[in-house]
């Protein structure tokens, strides 16, 4: 995913180099109580140049969100490759059910994005 990027004020995108870490303190409701949550968002580069760093970056993560450009057909293939890298680096050998569930989730996500794009195109054509 070569276009992991940070939006700049001038509407141009600048690819992330390595990793950018954003930290937040939030108050969230848990078991009917307000609880302080410390959240870290790690914006990592999708460039193959940094791919060797991914296992170390993902270590200890509680979740991963993959972002890609649906207008770039090759990005779907890169998403699959990235997904496999994450799975191999994060899940124990007995994590087959997690792998299957995540694979289905990514499949549904891709289908929904594709359907949304098609619907948007039909709306434009019919306007």
User: Which pLDDT does position 8 carry in this prediction?
Assistant: 46
Q: Please identify which residue in the block is written with the tokens 């594709």.
A: 114
Strand, coil or helix: 65 = coil
Average pLDDT over residues 103-126: 78
* % the chain with pLDDT above 90: 1
Domain borders along the chain are 5-90
Average pLDDT over residues 116-127: 81
Whether residue 11 is predicted with pLDDT greater than 80 in this model: the reply is no
Q: Are 60 and 83 in contact (CB under 8 A)?
A: no
List all residues 6 or more positions away from 2 whose beta carbon is below 8 Å from its beta carbon: 15, 46, 47, 48, 78
User: Which pLDDT does position 91 carry in this prediction?
Assistant: 57
Fold exhibited by the domain 5-90:
Rossmann fold (3.40.50)
Q: pLDDT tens for residues 39-89?
A: 888 888 877 788 788 777 777 777 777 777 778 878 777 777 777 666 666
Q: For the whole model, what pTM was predicted?
A: 0.49
């Amino acid at each position: 995913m070569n276009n992991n990027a940070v939006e700049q004020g001038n509407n141009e995108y600048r690819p992330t180099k390595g990793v950018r870490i954003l930290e937040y303190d939030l108050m969230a409701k848990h078991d009917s109580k307000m609880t302080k949550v410390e959240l870290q968002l790690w914006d990592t580069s999708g460039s193959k140049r940094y791919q060797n760093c991914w296992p170390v970056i993902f270590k200890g993560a509680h979740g991963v969100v993959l972002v890609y450009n649906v207008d770039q057909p090759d990005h779907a293939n890169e998403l699959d490759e990235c997904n496999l890298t994450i799975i191999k680096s994060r899940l124990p050998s007995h994590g087959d059910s997690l792998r299957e569930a995540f694979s289905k989730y990514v499949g549904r996500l891709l289908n929904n994005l594709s359907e949304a794009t098609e619907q948007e195109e039909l709306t434009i054509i019919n306007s």
